[in-house]
Structure formats: structure tokens, C-alpha cells
Amino acid sequence: MASVLLCCSLVNTAGAAKEPAKEWGEVRDPYYGEVLFQFYQQSYFSALTSLKVSQQFERMPNHKLDADVLHGGLLLSYGMYLPAEQIFRDLVESGSVTQRIQDRAWFYLAKIFYTRGYLDEAHAALGRVAGTLPEGLHEESLLLGANLYMSRGEYGPAVDLLRQVSPKTEWGLYGRYNLGVALIKMNRPDQGVPLLEEVGKNKVRTEEFRSLRDKANVALGYSFLANDTPITARNYLERVRLKGLQSASALLAMGWAQAAQEQYDRALVPWLELQGRNEFDAAVQESWLAGPYAYGKLGAELQSLTEYKRAIARYSHELGRLDQAIQEVRAGKLANALIELGGDEQQEMGWFWSPQALPALPAGRYLLTLLASHDFQEAMKNYRDVQFLRRDLVAWQDKVSIYRDMLDNRRRAYSERLPRVLGAQRQLDTDRLKTAYSQAAAELKRIEANDDVLALADEKQLAQRARLDRLSAAIKRTGDPALTEKFWRLKGLLLWDVSEEYVPRLAETKRSLADVEQRIADSDDRRARLQRAQRDMPIVLDGFAARIEGLNRRIARLQIDLARAAEEQGAHVARLAVAELERQRERTTVYLTQARFAVAQMYDQASSNAPAEAPP
């Protein structure tokens, strides 16, 4: 979740770093818009892929900073801390981002490190926050720093930070709770208990804070119970809700508080209530042992013995189910069952994934606590991500087959079309066209140089000129002045008409000749491209074939690596689950041993109290 906040908040503030008036929805590069669309569709793998491709080809010049921040956030979400941290370091060192953005980046980086269990890295990242974070984030950073100190057992620095958490913020109750716990750990209960009391009495409205209130009261109850003050412990335990997450622990402790006062009949009330609850809960299982203990203290030996025997049967049954669960986990059934419960198998890898229910396996019923832990959640996410990548590679293998078919079709089309294209090119006879063009260009040059207007006359005008040429000899023979004058007048009129149209005809002829020249040049270019294609296309197709086969080999190598990673990650998930199951098995074995020992004691006591046989 922290990675989502990192991406959303930092992309927004990064985009506004240099342009304060910039609106959130303004996207000036379409490729960046595509990445954001995929991101908000929760297709994080596709978003990361598109982002890296667009960055490679420099398609997002107007969103370079936004893209870098988003890139770093997406890498963080997949646990790729080193490249993500390098991206943020580069941004900081380049001066591209403000101090406010830098502080947010380091804070979220610290938060993610803490979530993943990298405590030293989280402490170092939090130490890089130079300024004051906004209200809310500042309080959360104080809590984060305090938790880091407390994880090291350094309660003094943790207390100093927790005292700075404002009680008026949403983190105030968490701050008071952690401060109380830290002070008690420092053997300062006089200061810590009032803080936990404050949290335990707080009137809250949300389920989250009701659970925190119950947790504070349970912590106080167990603390005073351990210090042999059961009456005070009861006062705190009575505040815990009967239907809350802490109710089982509170009922168990309430029974022991009553028992510590030798009020065993009252102790049975919460313990019998527990026995009707979820049998996989540790507090419920302990109540199986506590109930007969109370009956024994009340002198109901037969009832106590019966309940102890029932507890022995239950514990023995539990051990059998735990052994079966351990076998199932070691066989690899748990991880795959959890993935199937996580939703759509085709959903992309990402940090929002979590199982939607407990798997229908014996192991699943025992792993509720484990499923809520960060370590197991991260292990399962990593396992699911590996399986997603394996499916993605299978899809790419199918695409490789498609690419091969496409390449074969292209080779076939090339071999079929090439002879036809070459034949059509030969039929053009461009050499003859070039000769004709050269002759026409020379003739046009002569016409323009000599102003040979009649050379550009149209057919009608040429026919008129031929007719006048035929009449010329006849008119000369007649010697008629009137006919001669009329002849020259007609010839002059023809020359006038041709001269008037000479300039536009000359321009049109030049344009036509230029068009012919361009067509010849285009033909030469097509011929050159055809020759290059004839020479290069086999090389290009062979290059595509090599890339396809290289991709296929790379996919094969990655499949081997991912198969090994899936096996290792599945084994890691199994180890975590088996460790939890073994812990529960060990606890159940202790309970079983105690129950058997109690039964043996009762039999021994009964034997020692039996009257001796009279001698014969």
C-alpha cells in the first residue's frame, strides 16, 4: 500500500514541482497517458513495461520527472529496492525535485523497507528526511521511527519520538499506546499504565480504534495479572468487547484472574464460553485444559477427570490434523491454494493482492495468524508474482510461434511477388523513356531559344498553316494583288494567334516535361529500392528470424530461472507455514502432556486414598 501512496502522491507533487498551477489531470504526452491509464486500472506490470519502453524511445519529454518518479515507485512495489533507490538518488542529486518531494520519497521508502522487514535500511532512509513532513505524514514518521527503535530494544529514543506525536491527529491513539508500552518496557509502569488506561477508556467510533482500545485493555490485564494483582487485571479485562478480535485472549485472562482469587466457579464462566468458540484459536485450546483444572479445584473430581480425558482426545485429534496439515504444506498444496483464492488468475502481479479466504485445506485453518503477518504476505506475493511471470512467458512462447508464422508468410509473399515486380519494372523500359525525354528537352530548349512559336501550334493551327503553304504557290501564279494581300493577312492572323498562346503553351510544356522527369526519377528510385530490397530483404528476414530465435532461447532460459525461483519461493512459503504449524504442534503437545499428567495425578491420588485391603 505504501508503494501506491508513493506513486500517487509523488507523481502529483513531482508534476507540480516546476509548475504550481498545473492540474492533476493534465497529460501532455499520449504515451504517458497510456501508462497512467494502465496504472489506475491496477495493471501495474503493463504500466511498468509501457513506461520503460517509452522512456527507452524518449516518448515522454513533457513528463520526464513524473515518469522517473512513477518508475521508481513501481520498482519499489515489486521489491526492487536497489534500482528504485538509485532512481530517487539520481533525482535528488540532479536537483530536479524539491526538498518536500525528496522528504516524501525517503519517508515512503523507509515505510516500505519497514514493511518488508529491512529495518536497518528503513532507519537509514528515514534519517534522510531533512525537513518537516506535512501533518499526518509527520506523525506517521514519528511512529515509524519509534517502532524501529523499539524493534532494536532502544526504548529511550522511541519514547522521545512518541512524546512528539500530537494526540489530535489520527495517529494520536497509536502514539499513546506505543508510548505506554515503551515506558512499561523501561520499567516505568507509573508513567506507562496511565497512557494505556487513556487509550483503553477512549470513546472511539471506528472498528480500527475499538480494536486498539481492546488491545490496550488486554495488555493492561495481562500485565497486572503477571504482577499478581488479579482484581486490577479484571477491571481492565471487563472493558474488552465480547465480539472483538481480542475477546478470546480477554476471556482466557479473565478466567485466570478469577482463579488467582480462588473463585473457580466464576473462572469457569469465561472458560466455558471459550470452549464453544473456534477450536483453532490458541486461547480456546488452553481453555480445554483450564476448565477441568477449575472443576478439580471445586472438588468435582469426576467432572474434572471427564473434561481432562475430553481435552486429551481433542489435543490428540489436533495433533493428527496438524501432522496432516504439515504434510500438505510440504507437498506444496498451500501456496497454490492461496493463489487460487486470491482472485482472477490473469490479474497482474501487484501489491494489492491478498487471499480472499482461507483455503479449504487442514493447514489453512491453523494459519490465520500467519496469513496476517508481513513476512508471510510478502512471501506469498513473491510466489504469486513468480507464477504470474511464468504464465507471461508461456504467453510469449505462443507469440513466438505466431511471429514465426508471420515471418514465413512474409518470406513466401516476398518470393512470390518479387518476380512479378521485377517483370513489371523491366517492361517500363526507362532507358527508352530517358532518351525520349532528352530529345524532347533539347527540342524545347531550341524552341525557346529561337522563339519558334509555330513549333508549339496546336493541330488546328498546324492544319491552317499547311493549307496556307499550299495556297502560296497558286496565289503567286495568279499575280492577283487582292488575293496576295488577303493571303498575307490570313498568315499574319495565324501567326498572331500562335504568338499569343506561345508563352502559356511553353510553360505548360515545361511543366509536362518536368512531370516526365519526376516520373523517370521516381522510376529510378523504385528500381533502386527494389534492388536494395532484393539485396537486403533476405538479410532483414534472416535478422528477424535470428531475433525471434534469440527471444525464444531467452524465454527458455528465463523459464528455467523462474521454475527454480518458484520452487525456492514455494519452499520458503512452506517453511514459514511449517514453522507456524510446528509451533502450534509444540504448544498442543505441551497441553496434551499437561492433561495426561493431570489425569495420572488424579489416578495416583485416587489410588492413595483408596482403603487398604484387609489381611486374610
| In the predicted structure, residue 179 carries a pLDDT above the cut 60 | yes
Chain-centre distance of CA 231, in angstroms? 52
Query: Residue 362's pLDDT is what?
Result: 63
The domain of 90 spans: 1-131
Q: Residues 300-322: pLDDT tens digits?
A: 999 999 999 999 999 999 999 89
| Distance of alpha carbon 303 from alpha carbon 58, whole angstroms | 80
Q: Residues 255-281: pLDDT tens digits?
A: 999 999 999 999 999 999 999 988 888
Model confidence band, residue 509 (pLDDT cutoffs 50, 70, 90): confident
Residue 33 lies in a domain: yes
Model confidence band, residue 74 (pLDDT cutoffs 50, 70, 90): confident
Tell me the range of 167-171, 261-265, 610-614 where mean pLDDT is highest: 261-265
| Distance of alpha carbon 443 from alpha carbon 596, whole angstroms | 124
Q: 502-609 vs 374-427: helix axis angle to the nearest 10?
A: 160
Residue 541 lies in a domain: no
CB-count burial class (<10 Å; 0-12, 13-18, 19+) for 485: exposed
| Distance of alpha carbon 196 from alpha carbon 236, whole angstroms | 10
Specify whether the backbone of 288 is left (phi greater than 0), alpha (psi in -120 to 50) or beta.
Answer: alpha
Query: Residue 494's pLDDT is what?
Result: 77
Q: What is the CATH number of the domain that holds 101?
A: 1.25.40
Chain-centre distance of CA 525, in angstroms? 50
pTM of model > 0.75:
no
b or e along 493-530 (b: 16 or more beta carbons within 10 Å of the residue's beta carbon)? ebeebbeebbeebbeebeeeeeebeeebeeeeeeeeeb
Per the model's pLDDT, the better-predicted residue between 407 and 428 turns out to be 407
Outline where 261-373 has alpha helix (H).
264-275, 282-297, 301-330, 333-340, 368-371
Provide the 10 A C-beta neighbour count for residue 165: 23
Domain count, the chain: 1
**Which amino acid makes up residue 116?**
R
| In the predicted structure, residue 412 carries a pLDDT above the cut 70 | yes
Residue 561 lies in a domain: no
Provide the 10 A C-beta neighbour count for residue 218: 25
Query: Residue 435's pLDDT is what?
Result: 80
Residue 355 lies in a domain: no
Tell me the average pLDDT across 602-612. 75
Residues 6+ apart with CB under 8 A from 158: 145, 146, 147, 149, 150, 178, 182
Residue 89 lies in a domain: yes
Specify whether the backbone of 202 is left (phi greater than 0), alpha (psi in -120 to 50) or beta.
Answer: beta
Tell me the average pLDDT across 214-220. 93
| In the predicted structure, residue 343 carries a pLDDT above the cut 70 | no
Q: Residues 21-56: pLDDT tens digits?
A: 344 457 889 999 999 998 888 788 889 999 999 999
b or e along 315-328 (b: 16 or more beta carbons within 10 Å of the residue's beta carbon)? beebbebbeebbeb
DSSP state of 135: T
Residues 29 and 67 sit within 8 Å (Cβ to Cβ): no
Residues 295 and 304 sit within 8 Å (Cβ to Cβ): yes
End-to-end distance of the chain based on CA atoms, in angstroms? 84
Query: Residue 297's pLDDT is what?
Result: 94
**Mean pLDDT score across all residues of the chain:** 83
b or e along 554-575 (b: 16 or more beta carbons within 10 Å of the residue's beta carbon)? ebeebbeebeebbeebbebbbe
Residues 417 and 493 sit within 8 Å (Cβ to Cβ): no
Residue 441 lies in a domain: no
Model confidence band, residue 427 (pLDDT cutoffs 50, 70, 90): low
Provide the 10 A C-beta neighbour count for residue 77: 23
Per the model's pLDDT, the better-predicted residue between 494 and 549 turns out to be 549
Per the model's pLDDT, the better-predicted residue between 146 and 206 turns out to be 146
Outline where 227-281 has alpha helix (H).
230-237, 247-260, 264-275
| In the predicted structure, residue 18 carries a pLDDT above the cut 60 | no
Query: Residue 359's pLDDT is what?
Result: 60
| In the predicted structure, residue 572 carries a pLDDT above the cut 70 | yes
Tell me the average pLDDT across 80-95. 79
Residue 15 lies in a domain: yes
DSSP state of 614: P
Model confidence band, residue 14 (pLDDT cutoffs 50, 70, 90): very low
Residues 6+ apart with CB under 8 A from 336: none
Tell me the average pLDDT across 460-479. 78
Per the model's pLDDT, the better-predicted residue between 603 and 523 turns out to be 603
| In the predicted structure, residue 3 carries a pLDDT above the cut 70 | no
Q: 81-94 vs 64-77: helix axis angle to the nearest 10?
A: 150
Cell representation of residue 117: 522487514
Per the model's pLDDT, the better-predicted residue between 498 and 327 turns out to be 327
Cell representation of residue 599: 489425569
Residue % of the chain over a pLDDT of 70: 89
Cell representation of residue 101: 518531494
Query: Residue 484's pLDDT is what?
Result: 80
Tell me the average pLDDT across 428-432. 67
Residue 91 lies in a domain: yes
Q: Which of 320, 366, 362 is nearest to 579 (CA)?
A: 366
Provide the 10 A C-beta neighbour count for residue 370: 19
Model confidence band, residue 536 (pLDDT cutoffs 50, 70, 90): confident
Per the model's pLDDT, the better-predicted residue between 395 and 85 turns out to be 395
Q: Residues 578-593: pLDDT tens digits?
A: 998 999 999 999 999 9
Query: Residue 19's pLDDT is what?
Result: 40
Tell me the average pLDDT across 170-186. 90
| Distance of alpha carbon 504 from alpha carbon 501, whole angstroms | 6
